[in-house]
Amino acid sequence: MNTKQHPDTGPSFASTLRLAAAGGRTDHVRITLTTIGSAVAAVMLLTAVSVGFITDNDGPYRLNLLAEPGLRPGVMTAILLLTVPLVVFVGLCSRVGAPARDRRLSMFRMAGATPADTTRIVALETGLAATIGAIVGAGVFLIGRTLLDGTQLANYRIVYADGSTGNEQGQTHLLPVDVTIPLWAIAATIAIIAIGATVASIVALRKVRISPFAVTRTVPTNPPTRTAAILFLGGTTGLLVVGASAARFDGQLAPLVALSFVLFVCCVVGLIMGSASVASATGRFLAPRVSRPDLLIAARRMIAAPFTSSRGSASVLLVALIGGAIQGTRANFLAYTDPGDTFYADTFALIDSVLIIAIALAAASLLVTSAESIVERRRTLAVLAAGGTPRTVLARAAIAEVLVPLIPAVLLASTAGLLASQAFFGTTVSGFDETTNRQTITPIHIPWDRLIILNAGITATALAITSISLIFLARSTRPTELRAAA
């Protein structure tokens, strides 16, 4: 047999592809989710890119955000920020069906695959799915743009050559669908998504040690409580102080802006790190005090796996944070402008709708984590169900496990966001009252109504989504699951 003479060059591309494609239904779900996620990411990124390529020849645009060149970087940043929950979502999706795939990889290792070979297999799967998704997304974006291209008669703001602004009327676009995006920018966007997704999958694999026998996951069970709490509380207090004292400095001074930004970042990091600690702490608080079985199961689960409970909620909290900031900013901007000037109001209406999309994305992340958590524990759940625990109790426990740590965290997050916007823009607005010919200082009233709607909306969505994930509960508590590998 001539196979013996062949030097060991490692698996060919075709072989690696075949091994990456070997998979069952859950693996196909994972690949589909990666593709869809990459497509959506492509659309969002290309939208941001199109804003960046607006030239003086394009437009005019109805939205103030697009019309004023100074605001465009902010718009791009906002879109990029909203890409974060999407990235988190795609990252979570990469763990769908991961246990079975990791077992398969360990079988490959036993058959002679090196650790580098297994990394290549995973990277190829994600890379191909992401590339195809990004290309599809780019196609959808470009085609969708031409379909949406249409103008409407409206007022728009224009910046004249001398720097002054004014209003004019004419045919305007709502979205930057007429911008020509150079090919290299489109290619670069696709490349960034594909490479980013591949790198992320490689990094995610680091947490999992795949040996020829078994797969061991380095799951940290002790969340870093103190650092997270310090970061978050420090950040929020700092923002509060800056916000309250901003009035003294009358407007924005560069160092103050920078400080606010740093504090905001502290809040974000603390929040994300802290979501696991909050879950763990809540569990530890509840466990010895509750006697209701559903809360007890939920509390134990929060202690045992705080990161799983909190992984999906991190993006929900991020959205709550940004949502709070947006509402605060909106209140600020609207205080500046006349009630008759609808530009800002329109803009913020658009932002609100984008926020709703972000909440949907975050909710999708939550769905993936709750479903994964249920499927991961199917043997334990099946044992409980077979032993007589009613399904309703298990269902309530699954919901409680996610919601109980989430609700206080959402409130904290939106508050922090609000404080951040206040620190950034100030809590008061100085204006000129023409009738009394005096400087007026009006405090911006906190938009309680919108904040309540925001928080309630997020919580209700989370509740709805977690309830949907319960369909996996019925499947996981079948007696046949008693034989499933843990």
Partner 1 sequence: MNQVLPVPSESATPGLDTGPNGSVALSALSIVYSYGRNPALRGVSVELRHGEILAVTGPSGSGKSTLMLCLAGILVPDVGDVSFGGRIISAESEAERSKLRRSQFGVLFQFGQLVPELTAAENVALPLLLAGIKRGAALSAASTWLERFCVADLAGSRPPEMSGGQAQRVAAARAMVTEPTVLFADEPTGALDALSGEHLMTQIVRVAREAGTSVVIITHDAKIAAYAEREIVVRDGMIENGTGV
Nearest Cα neighbor of 375 from 103, 99, 122 is 99
Closer by beta carbon to partner 1, 98 or else 413: 98
**Smallest distance from the beta carbon of 3 to partner 1, in angstroms?**
5
**Smallest distance from the beta carbon of 213 to partner 1, in angstroms?**
8
C-alpha to C-alpha distance for 131 and 191, rounded to whole angstroms: 7
State yes or no: cis peptide before 220, omega within 30 of 0. no
Closer by beta carbon to partner 1, 100 or else 393: 100
Residue 169's DSSP bridge partners are 155
Instruction: Report which DSSP code applies to 468.
Output: H
Q: How many CB atoms lie within 10 A of CB 42?
A: 27
**Smallest distance from the beta carbon of 111 to partner 1, in angstroms?**
5
**Smallest distance from the beta carbon of 24 to partner 1, in angstroms?**
6
Closer by beta carbon to partner 1, 20 or else 423: 20
Structure tokens at 237: 């207090």
The number of CA neighbours under 13 Å toward the Cβ of 330 is: 24
**Angle at which helices 25-52 and 98-110 cross, to 10°:** 110
C-alpha to C-alpha distance for 387 and 381, rounded to whole angstroms: 10
Q: Map residue 396 onto helix, strand or coil.
A: helix
Closer by beta carbon to partner 1, 107 or else 199: 107
Closer by beta carbon to partner 1, 58 or else 117: 117
**Smallest distance from the beta carbon of 204 to partner 1, in angstroms?**
20
Closer by beta carbon to partner 1, 13 or else 160: 13
Residues that bind partner 1 (CB under 8 A): 1-12, 14-15, 18-19, 22-24, 104, 107-117, 212-213
C-alpha to C-alpha distance for 412 and 414, rounded to whole angstroms: 6
**Smallest distance from the beta carbon of 13 to partner 1, in angstroms?**
10
Closer by beta carbon to partner 1, 100 or else 154: 100
Q: What is the Cα Rg of the chain in Å? A: 26
**Smallest distance from the beta carbon of 92 to partner 1, in angstroms?**
23
Tokens 């959205």 found at: 319
Q: Map residue 164 onto helix, strand or coil.
A: coil
